[in-house]
A and B are shown apart, each in its own frame.
Chain A
């Protein structure tokens, strides 16, 4: 089987999520990569070094600069002529593009796969991760999005793929990029961090969130996350949100502070290796999944803990 993997990048480097998608695609067969964007020679070079990749297809055109699905989907469909599967990471970019590709190919997409059970069979979470479904497709071609935390990352070096330029329809004239606001952070990226310290509504305010969560995260070299309640209350920006509707994470250690553990939040973090919970309510559902629990007032416990580390 020949697969085509969408390479997510920031114009300079290949994003972490792509490496897991390559691993998933390699379980199906030969892996070709697609690098689309404007001025992406560097990304193409980096992508060609990923272990196990055969060919890197490069579509260099201003129309692909901002990953607009309207322009990218026809390009992918063009390249699917001799290929059997299109694979993208289940990031906001992958989720935006892949279903458009699937519909143009007249196939059902299989979203956010957790494992490859066979050439046409996959597992995926449903009901906010409260059930795992094994699904089998009868479609001629596969379109898959891959949950990054469920697959090991392919090695970034060791490969020697050939680079090939491709052209396609260019700008479809349906949409244009206006601007973006990217939240700056010097901490590790949430979805790839080894340790995450996450705060909930109990922090009480944006100031207290930063005053209490940030120092602990910095001590541990951790990324900072938040529950939906904390984000809705304005304590943390929305891209911090961990959960069914935010980011899905599976770090080595997830420290949940002042988070009750609603099912929508658990859906985003319950595959973490070790879960630590600090909460004053000893009946909070978070303690049912926590490996280590500490019951008490976070306003005294957190500074104490940070000081002792």
Chain B
């Protein structure tokens, strides 16, 4: 079975985002960028399925600027077999991404598509579900466990209140939650090897997909700042503070 894994290049999760003074967005000049953490988990899961012998090929896809190639090379160094880069200098929204992925899925005919549950920049949590809708496939979102059994896949999902298991017909779409696995680091020899793995450069036009944005960002602002608080010396003082706040009688 072939697995398709879309990955996104985002601001590194350890970096504190700074809102641009002109309110047009978050400043991404000269800051560290990395693979979206949920996508690393998706790549890792695909590799583990390959190591179990149920997956034969892993194709990673990224949509975005030239530098998204670095993110694809990272995925190849982790263990993916080949990469497709849909080059776009403008931002592509989840709906556009889902449409491109649908076109790629039509070409590649994967048995599974594994995506991260959300990208930590836009926090949308949409692409996987949208791709499932467009392909007409089943979806196992927020997965913390994936088990392939014959022509179905059992997905344990993290839901409000606990866990839920669903059985999906293949091909299917899975989106990863944090606890699915612990992604591996790429070793230096594998990083070197990844440089010679195939990476195809494409454009949205190659797939005949219109990715014109539907949303306009009017402005981006800092959230309102909290007033500086006070420190108390001991639990007595804390209790009296809690009393003034009305937490306790």
Contact = CB atoms under 8 A, between A and B. Distances in A.
Interface string B200-226: 000000000000011111111111001
B236 A99 contact: no
B218 A127 contact: no
Given A127-B11, A175-B167, A177-B166, A276 B238 contact: yes
Contacts, number: 248
A264 interface: yes
Contacts of B188: none
A183 B159 CA distance: 11
Contacts of A137: 214-216
Given A291-B227, A292-B238, A180 B162 contact: yes
A239 to B, nearest CB: 6
Contact of A183 (B16, B162, B218, B241): B162
B231 A295 contact: yes
B150 to A, nearest CB: 14
Interface residues of A, number: 87
A72 to B, nearest CB: 11
B236 A102 contact: no
Given A108-B215, A305-B238, A125 B123 contact: yes
Interface in A252-282: 252-253, 263-264, 270, 274-276, 282
A304 interface: yes
B88 interface: no
Interface of B: 11, 13, 16-17, 19, 26, 93-95, 98, 117-118, 120-134, 136-142, 144, 154, 157-169, 177-179, 213-223, 226-227, 229-232, 234-239, 241-242, 245, 247-248
Interface of A: 66, 68-70, 73, 91-93, 95-104, 106-112, 121, 125-139, 173-183, 191, 195, 219-220, 228, 232, 237-239, 244-245, 247, 252-253, 263-264, 270, 274-276, 282, 287, 289-296, 301, 304-305, 308-309
Given A103-B134, A238-B158, A295-B231, 15 more contacts: A68-B166, A103-B129, A103-B133, A127-B123, A131-B220, A131-B222, A132-B220, A136-B215, A175-B138, A177-B164, A181-B163, A239-B162, A245-B117, A253-B242, A282-B231
